[in-house]
């Protein structure tokens, strides 16, 4: 059953981390003219109203993009990310939040390709109507874990795969590992970016070490913890991104950035970050 809707969470602290890192990776790929393919295995709707009832229900974006929107002294990578959110809000007011397909589409060049998978029928329909006819883009109403096989390797042998499941049940953690194990046999040099939630589940805690064991040529792991768990010990205290074959520039960019994100997005004194890597 697909109960998860990203519209409830769009623009929260986890999206800020994920989309800032995605922007950095895409900018890095754009330094070479040679084309590349982006595969987003769990694309969501592509864009979200922040004024609608979903986003307003818990107002998660207020503790994410909402804390950055009005600042004018942003560090460079965050300024770049916020400028893309501004591009998505042409009236100059924060009304909508771009999903990962929108960030990719804003940064891709004419020679690049975007492949989007989304299973939820409503989010698929929204995504299809937004990007279905865009140049270089294919939107698929299909399982992204399974669909990735058919996308690898890209003919240019340059590519980024974003794996951003909802982790609704326990199965997604195992599927991330199985999917990556297979993907690496097809396209070992691809850049693979996995997002995961920092929650009290053993699968979430173990995921980074399991990903590390898969990475043949280096990895980077960044985690941002911003809030305390609730009284029952549940909740999303933060999130992480794990990248296999990361751009060599990413570690130092994040080292400059993460302390600032802790200060700006932290909701309690224990807010912190983790940054670790094994270079190729």
Range list of β-strands (E), the chain:
37-40, 47-49, 96-98, 113-117, 137-140, 159-163, 191-198, 219-225, 238-244, 272-278
Using CA atoms, how far apart are residues 82 and 41, in angstroms rounded to an integer?
24
Active-site residue identified among 164, 230, 252, 269: 164
Q: How far is the CB of 82 from ligand SAM (least distance, A)?
A: 16
| Contacts of range 57-62, beta carbons closer than 8 Å, 24 or more positions apart | 57/8, 58/8, 60/8, 60/9, 60/10, 60/11, 60/12, 60/13, 61/10, 61/11, 61/12, 61/15, 61/97
Question: For the sheet containing 113-117, what is the strand order?
Answer: 137-140, 113-117, 37-40, 159-163, 191-198, 238-244, 219-225, 272-278
Tokens, residue 9: 């969470």
The label of the residue with tokens 């399982």 reads 143
The label of the residue with tokens 């995921």 reads 207
Q: How far is the CB of 208 from ligand SAM (least distance, A)?
A: 18
Contact status, residue 154 vs residue 111, Cβ threshold 8 Å: no
Q: In the complex with ligand SAM, which residue's Cβ is closer, 172 or 216? A: 172
Q: How far is the CB of 69 from ligand SAM (least distance, A)?
A: 18
Q: Which residues bind ligand SAM (CB under 6 A)?
A: 2, 4, 6, 18, 40, 42-44, 99-100, 117-120, 123, 143-145, 164-166
Q: How far is the CB of 231 from ligand SAM (least distance, A)?
A: 26
Q: In the complex with ligand SAM, which residue's Cβ is closer, 2 or 229? A: 2
Q: Which residue is nearest to ligand SAM (CB)?
A: 99
Q: In the complex with ligand SAM, which residue's Cβ is closer, 99 or 154? A: 99
Q: How far is the CB of 279 from ligand SAM (least distance, A)?
A: 27
Q: In the complex with ligand SAM, which residue's Cβ is closer, 9 or 221? A: 9
Q: In the complex with ligand SAM, which residue's Cβ is closer, 117 or 273? A: 117
Tokens, residue 258: 């993460």
Using CA atoms, how far apart are residues 235 and 238, in angstroms rounded to an integer?
9
Q: Is 230 labeled as catalytic in the residue annotation?
A: no
Report, as residue numbers or ranges, the catalytic residues: 164
């Amino acid at each position: 059953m697909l109960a998860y809707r990203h519209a409830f969470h769009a623009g929260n602290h986890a999206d800020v981390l994920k989309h800032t890192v995605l922007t950095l990776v895409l900018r890095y790929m754009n330094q070479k003219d040679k084309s590349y393919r982006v595969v987003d295995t769990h694309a969501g709707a592509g864009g979200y109203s922040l004024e609608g009832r979903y986003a307003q229900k818990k107002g998660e974006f207020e503790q994410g993009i909402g804390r950055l929107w009005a600042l004018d002294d942003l560090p460079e990578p965050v300024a770049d990310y916020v400028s893309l959110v501004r591009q998505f809000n042409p009236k100059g007011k924060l009304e909508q939040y771009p999903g990962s397909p929108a960030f990719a589409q804003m940064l891709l060049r004419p020679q690049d390709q975007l492949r989007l998978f989304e299973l939820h029928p409503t989010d698929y329909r929204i995504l299809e109507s937004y990007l279905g006819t865009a140049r270089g883009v294919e939107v698929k109403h299909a399982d992204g874990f399974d669909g990735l096989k058919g996308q690898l390797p890209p003919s240019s042998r340059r590519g980024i795969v974003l794996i951003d499941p909802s982790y609704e049940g326990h199965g997604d953690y195992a599927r991330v590992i199985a999917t990556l194990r297979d993907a690496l046999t097809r396209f070992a040099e691809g850049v693979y970016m996995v997002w995961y939630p920092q929650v009290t589940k053993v699968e979430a805690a173990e995921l980074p070490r399991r990903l590390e064991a898969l990475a043949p040529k280096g990895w980077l792991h960044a985690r941002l913890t911003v809030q305390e768990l609730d009284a029952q010990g549940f909740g999303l205290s933060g999130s992480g991104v794990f990248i296999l074959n990361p751009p060599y520039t990413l570690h130092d960019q994040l080292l400059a950035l993460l302390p600032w994100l802790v200060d700006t997005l932290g909701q309690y004194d224990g807010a912190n970050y983790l940054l670790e890597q094994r270079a190729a």
